Amino acid sequence: MSDDPGKIRCDACPVLCYIREGMLGACDRYANRGGKLTRTDPHVLLERTKSRGGELVSFAGRSRDWDGKLVEGPETFVTAIGAGTTYPDYKPAPFIISSDVTGVDMVTVVTEGIFSYCGVKVKIDTDRHLGHEATPVRVAGEQIGHVTTAEYGSQMLSLGGVRHLTGGSKKEGRVTCQSLLDLSNRRPVEVTVDGGTTVIIEAGKAPIINGQLEERMRVGCGSATIGMFAKQWMGLVDDVVVVDDHITGVLSEHQAGKFLGVRDTGIKMKGHRSTPGRYFKVAQPGTGWGGTDLSDPLSILRPFDPKEAWRGLRLLMVSTTGEHSAYFELDEALLPVEKELPPALKLSVERIKENCEPALSTVLFMAGAGGSLRAGVTENPVRLTNSVKASITRVTAGGAPCYVWPGGGITYMVDVTTLPDNAFGSVPTPALVGPIEFTMPHNAYAALGGHVDHVRRLEDVLKEHGKKRVAAP
């Protein structure tokens, strides 16, 4: 108990703040307003009919007055954003709402989860080398995650997680929490990868790598690029090398070139030959040509074979984004001499660029909801997990569809760009607060031991809270 009678205690998270009249709690999410514990953000409704992704309507404190009509229609969805939490977990979720969805009586259980086990997976569309796998990724000098397995045309980061949130120093936890919060709310975060690369990540925007805006992701690996464009080079050039950190392609040796009748040119490559016309490791990874450390592409060529090469042989070297290109002709000594790119080849380089998709940073929030928050849904928590696994219960985050991992628990991922603005919060423990909703048929809710006594009709909830802020549970 507080000695100050003007203070009230918030029990929405383990911090258990005492909050004075007119003041905010440590997380800014709860306030003491007139002696009443109040969730400071408006509760968010989605109206799905308006557009894909839905128009967002603030539920409490909304701009238009409620006109007394029963609800806005069956497409109104009460999200967990601003709803409050179940903490200390034995309580039923703040909102358990029933509504008719195309004639079926559905129940949606709405709560904000407090997640210690959470993080973000970041996909950065670039072939530039950011760092080797497992290299630490830092913000303000604190490790918040690491580089993980690269994907096709993209570098991947795994950030956050319980070890960085609560398993290290206080500062590491604080910095990790703030970084996850910013990334999840689609704000830019600058990270450094040990070894020197800096990346500014903002969900849904192009990454900025070492101060340079990444415009395009690669069209494919070097071999794929040969396959896609081989026909367009016929008659314009004698050989093409597509430089790529993964697979560098050589037209005259590649199956596509063979198929089109490209003659041998006597070209000799460095690196490991994988299959004809496909080479691994022609250079080290880097931020130069095709995600390698190359600034001079000729450094990956050995001398041409004089039995096959000829004076005047025309060679195009190009990267997988078309960002780098150079044109050479062999002199009498069969040495490549750089010349201006002929207009027709310029067009083919432009075509490569045109076929590259815009580079984006993608942020997926990932968390485990298979713990105590289930008690806010049902008295028999494992039944909720089983219901989710059986696809009877649908999991959404702020109304956005989630991917739930197979196996144990309710480990889910959601694209943060599909949630309404500022859907995530944090508490100082440190942990993230994220919206989560479970929707299922009413009879299924009863069957899993749900808090059926706390189910309220959507129209009643709207009527009750339509014109004022929602008090904390």
Report the residue closest to ligand SF4, judged by CB. 25
Nearer to ligand SF4, 12 or 432 (CB): 12
Q: Is 13 in the site for ligand SF4 (CB under 6 A)?
A: yes
Taking CB under 6 A as the rule, does residue 26 contact ligand SF4? Answer: yes
Instruction: Kindly state whether residue 165 participates in binding ligand SF4, applying the rule CB under 6 A.
Output: no
How many residues touch ligand SF4 (CB under 6 A)?
13
Please tell me whether residue 107 binds ligand SF4 under the rule CB under 6 A.
Answer: no
Q: State the Cα–Cα distance between residues 250 and 421, nearest whole angstrom.
A: 47
Nearer to ligand SF4, 30 or 95 (CB): 30
Burial class (CB in 10 A: 0-12, 13-18, 19+), 390: exposed
Among 30, 279, 365, 445, binds ligand SF4 (CB under 6 A): 30
Q: Tell the smallest beta-carbon distance from residue 174 to ligand SF4 (Å).
A: 14
Q: In this structure, what are the phi and psi dihedrals at residue 228, rounded to the nearest 5 degrees?
A: -75, -35
Residue 83 as a binder of ligand SF4 (CB under 6 A): the answer is no
DSSP sequence for 411-422: EEEEEGGGSPTT
- The answer to whether residue 88 forms part of the interface with ligand SF4 (CB under 6 A) is no
Q: Is 27 in the site for ligand SF4 (CB under 6 A)?
A: yes
From the list 15-23, 47-55, 67-75, 281-289, the region that binds ligand SF4 by CB under 6 A is 15-23
Which residue in this structure is represented by tokens 């800096």? Answer: 198
DSSP SS3 for 112: strand
Cα gap 423→415, rounded to integer Å: 12
Q: Rounded CA gap, 115 and 424, in Å?
A: 11
Q: Which residues contact 376 (CB under 8 A, 6 or more apart)?
A: 86, 89, 91, 92, 93, 109, 111, 451
Query: CB-wise, 24 or 447, nearer to ligand SF4?
Result: 24
Query: What residues are paired with 19 via a beta bridge?
Result: 8
Stretch that binds ligand SF4, among 13-21, 49-57, 165-173, 329-337 (CB under 6 A): 13-21
Applying CB under 6 A, the span of 8-16, 155-163, 286-294, 310-318 interacting with ligand SF4 comes to 8-16
Question: Which one of 26-34, 131-139, 305-313, 388-396 is the stretch in contact with ligand SF4 (CB under 6 A)?
Answer: 26-34
**Residues 37/446, Cβ–Cβ less than 8 Å:** no
Main-chain phi, psi angles of 416, to 5 degrees: -65, -20
Report the alpha-carbon distance of residue 240 to residue 221 in Å, rounded.
14
Site mask for ligand SF4 (CB under 6 A), range 397-436, x = bound: ------------------------------xx--------
CB-nearer residue toward ligand SF4: 180 or 199: 180
Q: Are 455 and 443 in contact (CB under 8 A)?
A: no
Which residues form the interface with ligand SF4 (CB under 6 A)? 10, 12-13, 15-17, 25-27, 29-30, 427-428
